[in-house]
Chains A and B, each alone.
Chain A
Amino acid sequence: MVAPDYLQVLVLAAVAIALIIVTIEVVARIVRPHAPNPNKYETYECGERTIGSTGVKIGVQYYLYALVFIIFDVEAVMLFPWAVSFKEFDGVLGLGTIIFAEVFMFVGILLIGLVYAWKRGVLEWQEM
């Protein structure tokens, strides 16, 4: 059995999906005009006829940012349990210094990675 609040979240998502589909496919279909014309369905490009495909090669720059992002996003997720329990460890158990040092060793190692990426020019925008 799902906890009530999580069930509410699922129902919110379901209602949102239903509302969008009903609005676009039913309500708007009743009131909107339908006057097809082949020119209307051309790709928009400020009145010019579009040339070539959009399935082009994309600069490698974007992938490098994505790789650095994945490292740090995982780091952020790993830090959340630490952040929630930090006060309890510090106040009740008196272990604040230890888990503080542990986490900042972890962050420090990742920071070395960031500095390395920085020095290698991964974070510079390359002209393509």
Chain B
Amino acid sequence: MVDLMNWAGIYDTIEGFLSGLGLSFIIPLTLYAIAALILFGFVAALVLVTTYLERKILSDIQVRLGPMETGGRRFHGILQPVADGIKLLQKEDIMPKNRDKLPYYLAPLVVFVPVFVIMGLIPLGFIPLDIASLNKNLLVAADLDIGILAILALAVIPTLGAVMAGWSSRNKFTTLAMLRSVAQGISYEIPFVLAALAVVLAAGSMNLSEIVKAQSGLWFIFLMPIGFIVFFMAALAEIHRIPFDVDEAENELVSGVIVEYSGMRFAFFYLAAYAELFIAAALITILFLGGWAGPVLPGVMWFFIKCFVIIYVIIWMRGTLPRVRIDQMLAVGWKVMLPLALLNLLITSSILML
């Protein structure tokens, strides 16, 4: 993203300003910080769009209209997510008095920060401009060579945040939710990583844009359909969506580990949950559906089309499927998904050797 800012002239402006103050050594840091702020705006906009879509699609499935008033009836309540955000900002900060202070305070950070960093590691496609002065015209904040490994590693940290939130709240609902959350997270982590590993095997690289390039002939969903199914289900479990949302089951545990959080503390858990939804869709798109490859339209648009199709399917499942029991879910994770993921690895490496 810094390359793009160089082209847009931001770099020259900042360089002129900071050199005038004698602070030229913080120029790169300033650029990175601006990139981070742009990314935060992107995440916030994405969450607004996704929550609106989720409410509207769910209400359509349930034959009702959903939010209609905010922003005017003619626009089908388009400002509802903005109103929700403003409401959360105005909420009184209520914290239970017998909480464990430090973990309670840090839990929203431990959940949100890794998710935000992952958002910065996901390339959204090539910029549809042909500019010679750009080194890399990939639309991404940080293009790491170990991309997928870094994402998989960071994706586990929010589980730790769930433990901190659940334990420090000293509430029976959150304690149960925490136990379930960890059991679920660790059971589906292995199939999740092994399915991604088969993709790395076929692409020969952990860099996400290299993985997309390796799919120019054949999308990996056709090379390894088993891997796709395993990855999709494990991703659903990792982001705690129906049918695998046993740790935030509304009719048993109120809303999981975030019961005792209110206002903006709650809002960051919420932001992280919806950013995770987008991350799951983006990873499925990049690893199995050819990323931003597609005819006619620019790559970035194809990327978002594919992502939102996946998000639509996930929301559709939420409107359709019941919730599984925790013992069923863990049994499927260990007895079906793990052998299937290993089988997929075996088949993929055999095909590659032919």
Q: Please list the residues of chain A having a beta carbon within 8 angstroms of any beta carbon in chain B.
A: 4-9, 11-17, 19-21, 23-24, 27-29, 31-35, 38, 40-46, 50, 53-54, 56, 58-59, 61-62, 65-66, 68-69, 72-73, 76, 79-80, 83-88, 90, 96-97, 100, 103-104, 107, 111, 114, 118, 123-125
Contact = CB atoms under 8 A, between A and B. Distances in A.
Given A44-B259, A62-B182, A97-B353, A86 B141 contact: no
B91 A32 contact: yes
8 contacts: A16-B36, A34-B92, A44-B96, A44-B254, A66-B182, A68-B334, A72-B190, A83-B198
Contacts of A27: 89, 264
A71 to B, nearest CB: 9
A41 to B, nearest CB: 4
A84 B2 CA distance: 28
A76 B40 contact: no
A45 B169 CA distance: 12
A76 B39 CA distance: 31
Contact of B189 (A28, A43, A73): A73
What's the interface size class on B, roughly?
35 or more
In order of increasing CB-CB distance, the 6 nearest A-B pairs are: A125-B327, A15-B36, A87-B204, A11-B32, A41-B97, A8-B142
A39 to B, nearest CB: 10
Contacts of A86: 201, 204, 349, 352
B194 A76 contact: yes
Binding site of A, secondary structure by majority: helix, strand, loop or mixed?
helix
Contacts of B342: 107, 111
Interface stretch (B63-71, B108-116, B221-229, B236-244): B108-116
B200 A20 contact: no
A1 B50 CA distance: 39
Interface string B195-211: 00110110011100000
B116 to A, nearest CB: 4
Given A50-B172, A54-B171, 16 more contacts: A9-B121, A12-B142, A19-B40, A24-B263, A27-B264, A33-B90, A34-B92, A41-B94, A43-B96, A54-B172, A62-B183, A66-B182, A96-B352, A96-B353, A107-B345, A123-B334
B349 A80 contact: no
A4 B98 contact: no
A27 B350 CA distance: 57
Contact of B338 (A9, A31, A43, A114): A114
B28 A4 contact: yes
A43 B142 contact: no
A88 B187 CA distance: 32
Contact of A83 (B200, B254, B263): B200
A29 B352 CA distance: 58
A87 B260 CA distance: 50
B127 interface: no
Give the interface centre of B121, B150, B183, B205 by most chain A CB atoms within 10 Å: B183
A15 to B, nearest CB: 4
A14 B117 CA distance: 10
Contacts of B39: 12
